[in-house]
Structure 1
């Protein structure tokens, strides 16, 4: 799911209010130099910036961001040339203040280090990872930015230069793989980026004229990097074909192995024109988990990034539930799973956990920020509820229009409404406006019952005749009514 939560955006807004730029900075150039052979490996970063008329230069660095705290611990050895009168680390203000001569250019150098020891686990992935053979970090963890240097209103020039890289090193970020880049960036684009360097392997493939880079390091027991690269080709092509959207001229996916003492850990972060992935290398991380991860998370490039919730948790039934529905639908349509597997996944991954959950009837308003992030049952509720509701709507629209229309058409309408000249965010009013066009006034009452009040769906006589709905072990299960209708049912489901 999308990592940008309500709290992180509120924190960012407050930071902007408190730290208004004192003056406009010129085009910035950052030099990145890895020192991975050191006893404690580090990334040396340097750039030049100018003090104001009072001899002050304020540099922004988030001490808390995306759920991580004490990020200042990753920022060490800040020096200036010429030597400044004072370098003040203001952790509570997310600020480094340089005090020196007025209107003077200073070269600022600092080290980014890894502040957590032990084998690389999931908890490390949201902080800078600086190891003897590689490094991995998000953009906002790497760059000390003069206030006002970048803006979210307009893109500004920003240069990145790698220096003294070993010949066999791969360097890559969300903006490409060149060691020297001059870019036009907004602040949020730089912050929401991934940077990797070291013993990675890079795959490059083209989808309808647009490059996709897959940058990977690690070995897994149940699959290999070649298999994941082939999977990504199919997933990205399938999703872009579905949305009729091949506008991204460059897209990057990174994958890194992590250590998990017990069980499996698979996760990812949706970023600017990129997706960063990390998963455990043991036998519990199967290729099926990777299939699901990429099919679900990359769908958020549209549902979540372009069709944006007006009230984050209140519309998770859509941004997570409908995304989950299309995860399975497009996997079936694209040949990544067969019909038997599709029905099994719906039964075991959605119907069973939802209908046996203690909070299955919880109203939508109970899905608050606190409940969602503090209770696993509430976290999964919108996935299950929204996915089953999407299945119902898709079936109803197809049946009413004799398969001339489907839920796909409603999704395209919402995308247009949320990205056009008069774009708006998705709320219940907007969703019901388009729902009514396809299923009439009665569908609004059904929406209120199933989504807002949390009533369970009775699927009896509501799905295709080829699906037998039986109740076993306390929850409904879908099976083929007859093996001879498998091909016909698949066509109805994917149309």
Structure 2
């Protein structure tokens, strides 16, 4: 019953309601698209991975599909998608990044294509990325961002996932398992991982009612069960800080052969999973901080507002990577996953690498331009961002510290969606100013935008840890060690350098390197050569002209149990 309105108003209301109902009826329901994955087998070996997508065509009869382009350092990812066919429409490819299907409006379409491997054999352990499909005769390891095509302009679509082993013995582990039971937003396909080999071993743990699964493939000096125990401690520490995260989580773990002298492990966070690839000689304890770092990416920066869009994404890596390194060390110490000595050692390694980096003076625009092509530039946002976090913690200490700001960013991001979303690196300053009145812009302008050298104050970590600043001669071999290794003959020996002064000359038969520490001129290096038909090791200090300033964290040599607890609390919060 409606009272107090004239008939004209009632008539207008009726027309408006009818129009609204008509518009609502005309709006199609979100589509449910089905993605079916299966191995392509030849004489029992996996040759490729087949992807079959069933979906309705767009209402105008032209359906545009986006192909993978760039992700995680992988470029032109569409190169690894082959043999596309369409049932229900005609396929055209106007450019390398897009497939266009013409059909009847809303016609049922079936799109089939294959994903081929990006590598001949295992990925190289010294490669800058592994953001490309790994397809081997005995299985595959894929990231969703690199293999799935999705319809343009249909972000409201939902997707269902289907696994078809095609009669093989492959065992699949994926964070898309929930989509086998119930459709989910299509955006979840990108940040996903799929690993399928006959020898995948799984270990499970319960974290406050949410399952943690470790899916491991290959031989390591530890078991999947041991890794799951360590992962559970690491994840629990992160969840205790953020105050949420009771969702299933998957860690996929694949082994690489370990060339002599190589230890390598790399990973990427993927919302409710992270994917790791590692040489087989890596020790379990080496993963503690790495694991904490990767799990923290579930929040930083995804749930804090996400990354900067487009080609300038690396401009925000000082926050998403550097702050994550800072919190990985801090939370690992806070939870007891590492001790004070391990905490200090991790910082000292990072401070040493920063001080001796060939890119130490690179500004943020140069990081955007060179991040995926220059190793030194690629590491700089990690090193620089972690130190900026220390400076900000000191500046905000009286106002509740950096923890308070990070949790406030989490709360703000939760309340913002779509166009109102602020990328996490850009949200930090306004959130901090709004909560504490403290302006963090000067630190970002100096040390991130312009790339000024950072020197931490002696009391940067509080507690019992102190920061020491040292000056030493610059590191210089006076020898082209890379070319020497390739040709197995000494090369590039500079007559004014320390290698020449020690007795090395161009053209000596090179037998190998002994000792030394790249970047540290205080550590003696030995170059083994053949001299007068006999092996000889020529040793020298790799000191060059100029000076380098290095900082390091010192821990007391003796602490009572009570003093140690107090120190950890002061340092880790």
Residue-pair matches, total: 452
Displacement of 1:193: 1.7
2:415 corresponding residue in structure 1: 420
Pairing of 1:83-98 with structure 2 (within 5 A): 88=92, 90=93, 92-97=95-100
Instruction: Indicate which of 28, 33, 37 corresponds to 1:28.
Output: 33
- Given the superposition, is the C-alpha separation of residues 376 and 76 from structure 1 closer, same or farther in structure 2, using an over 3 Å criterion? closer
Please, which runs of 5 or more residues in structure 1 have no aligned partner?
Answer: 1-22
Is 1:112–2:111 an aligned residue pair?
no
Displacement of 1:133: 3.2
CA distance in 1 between counterparts of 2:444 and 2:133 reads 44
2:489 corresponding residue in structure 1: none
Contact map agreement 1:120 1:259 (CA 8 A) in 2: no
CA distance in 1 between counterparts of 2:365 and 2:167 reads 54
Displacement of 1:72: 4.9
- Given the superposition, is the C-alpha separation of residues 391 and 45 from structure 1 closer, same or farther in structure 2, using an over 3 Å criterion? closer
- Given the superposition, is the C-alpha separation of residues 24 and 357 from structure 1 closer, same or farther in structure 2, using an over 3 Å criterion? same
1:42 corresponding residue in structure 2: 48
SS in 1 for 2:251: strand
- Given the superposition, is the C-alpha separation of residues 286 and 435 from structure 1 closer, same or farther in structure 2, using an over 3 Å criterion? farther
SS in 2 for 1:237: helix
Pairing of 1:287-436 with structure 2 (within 5 A): 287-307=284-304, 308=306, 312-347=313-348, 349-357=349-357, 359-362=359-362, 364-395=363-394, 397-398=396-397, 400=398, 405-421=400-416, 424-426=422-424, 430-431=428-429, 434=432
CA distance in 2 between counterparts of 1:358 and 1:108 reads 48
TM-score w.r.t. the length of structure 1 is 0.77
Displacement of 1:361: 4.9
Contact map agreement 1:414 1:431 (CA 8 A) in 2: no
CA distance in 1 between counterparts of 2:435 and 2:102 reads 62
Q: Residue by residue, what CA displacement relative to the aligned partner does 1:330-372 show, whole Å, maximum 9, x if unpaired?
A: 111122211112112212x22222234455455x545441143
Please, which runs of 5 or more residues in structure 2 have no aligned partner?
Answer: 1-27, 473-548
CA distance in 2 between counterparts of 1:395 and 1:449 reads 16
Displacement of 1:288: 3.9
CA distance in 2 between counterparts of 1:309 and 1:52 reads 30
2:464 corresponding residue in structure 1: 466
Is 1:478–2:553 an aligned residue pair?
yes
CA distance in 2 between counterparts of 1:429 and 1:164 reads 44
SS in 1 for 2:229: helix
Higher RCO (C-alpha under 8 Å, 6+ residues apart) = 1
SS in 2 for 1:306: helix
SS in 1 for 2:303: coil
1:250 corresponding residue in structure 2: 248
Max Rg structure: 2
Q: C-alpha root-mean-square deviation of aligned residues, in Å? A: 3.7
Contact map agreement 1:201 1:215 (CA 8 A) in 2: yes
Q: Residue by residue, what CA displacement relative to the aligned partner does 1:227-252 show, whole Å, maximum 9, x if unpaired?
A: 221121111111011110124x2222
